[in-house]
Amino acid sequence: MNDTRDLTNLTVTDALAALRSGELSCTELVRAFLERIERLEPRLHAFITLTPELALRQAAAADRQYTRARKSGESTPPLLGIPLAVKDLLALAGVRCTCGSRILDNFVPPYSATVVQRLLDAGVVVLGKTNTDEFAMGSSTENSAYGVTRNPWNVKHVPGGSSGGSAAAVAARMTPAALGTDTGGSVRQPASFCGVTGLKPTYGRVSRFGLVAYGSSLDTVGVFARTAADVALLFSHMAGFDPRDATSVDFPLPLPCLDGKTNLKDVRIGVPQEYFIEGIQPEVEGAVKAAITHLEKLGAVVLPISLPHTEYALPVYYLIAPAEASANLARYDGVRFGPRVEAENILDLFCNTRGQLFGAEVKRRIMLGTYALSAGYYDAYYGQAQKVRTLIKQDFEKAFELVDVIAAPVAPSTAFKIGEHADDPLAMYLEDIFTLPANLAGVPGLAFPVGFDYQGLPVGMQLMGAPFGEEMLLRLAHVYQQTTTWHLQTPTGVD
């Protein structure tokens, strides 16, 4: 247990057991992850800001708390001493929050996001803030103003996005868990590309207070870990009603029951024909279908279903999300947040600051969204997109009358090479074609590894559930991981 590599291979569940038994100290565990970050970060660039001093202070405090508890018999916080990385889109008091953008280069929030604070209250230790596409606008983490994150399985490939830093950090064993956000697939797609488990909760299940907004009707805060059991444990402390978030839902949150049973005879799995399209990478299709067959052998009933409006999800998303982004990002004007580019008058100050400090993809989406909301075009574009969004939501409602979960690929391919889509925004947008519908419908989704392609790159499958159906998704993924070993594989190319 003293070997650094052994410590960083611990799952959240295993690390908690070792910490509680006294076999391992929090400081030992945190130092092991910090040493691994120091070794691998120059190659992977998974973080924007590291917080080693904070982490070691928190670890020392956790060790003292465990020592007192062993003497007094008092209980300890449920996640005491567990290292965590936080996507740099979520506020952590006293630590800069850049959102991957130069326009927030020196912004230090005075408070923590609700989800971050809940995990801090549960005892986690924060290792740092992870890299992200600027304002979460991207599918590859190439759009960060602070450099590209690389995939631990092959550093010539992207880790996915926009939560690529968090996914890469978990895959590379730089942290046992990390927070991400998912507006159109930004937890599930990186989880698939990096071979880890990632959950996008039901919209409103986890507070968005303290999350820097991109698309307010689509944004969700999710979590990465190596196993479904770890994701379930973290999620149980993240979710819950928050009066500071107007979209927060007061819904009971039972801790998912993940026992050792592997019989799925009470589960109906729907397989949508629209998700197995022409052009999908054959190894992706093969691995996902093999995983579905595996669940069927464990007793699940597999049924073909249809989500007929799936083909409209991409254009609908790229009208609604940019429209909301154009409104949300109007606050970054060089006056209220971050740095400014000085000018002789206020209008030029606004134009210079936004023109020079926003990246190309952010500008593209702001312009697209502003156009969709402009006089004379609102009803034709944004209004029409909202109507079609309702049809997509109704597709899911009808499907869940027949099945308990929906199984599908996460992305049409495995991780592509860095720069491969640099000159083709549409090709980049198509990477999210299978993840966008869940965000538009507000339903939960869970991605987890189910195989590898010929290059040794991970293949992920996603399960989508009815609103507030996270427990079922986590149960199925846990059963799958109890009977397979894909989630246990470790990238060796970065050591």
DSSP class of residue 329? G
CB-based burial label for 85 (10 Å; 0-12, 13-18, 19+): buried
Contact 264, 298 (CB under 8 A): yes
Residue among 305, 290, 483 nearest 405 (CA): 305
Contact 105, 147 (CB under 8 A): no
Write a three-state SS string for 368-410: HHHHHHCCCCCHHHHHHHHHHHHHHHHHHHHHCCCCCEEEEEC
Residue among 93, 98, 102, 63 nearest 81 (CA): 63
Catalytic residue among 162, 192, 326, 413: 162
Q: Is 297 a catalytic residue?
A: no
Contact 454, 448 (CB under 8 A): no
Helices 12-21 and 228-238 pack at an angle, to 10 degrees, of 80
Contact 26, 81 (CB under 8 A): yes
**Token pair in block for residue 305:** 């279903």
Q: Is 157 strand, coil or helix?
A: strand
Catalytic residue among 87, 101, 144, 413: 87
b or e along 136-154 (b: 16 or more beta carbons within 10 Å of the residue's beta carbon)? Answer: bbbbbbbbbbbebbbbbbb
Q: Is 75 a catalytic residue?
A: no
Distance (Å) of CA 246 to CA 206, 208, 462: 12, 9, 28
Cis peptide before 162 (omega within 30 of 0): yes
Catalytic residue among 186, 192, 207, 248: 186
Q: Is 186 a catalytic residue?
A: yes
DSSP class of residue 493? T
Bridge partner list, 271: 304
Q: Which sequence positions are flagged as catalytic?
A: 87, 162, 186
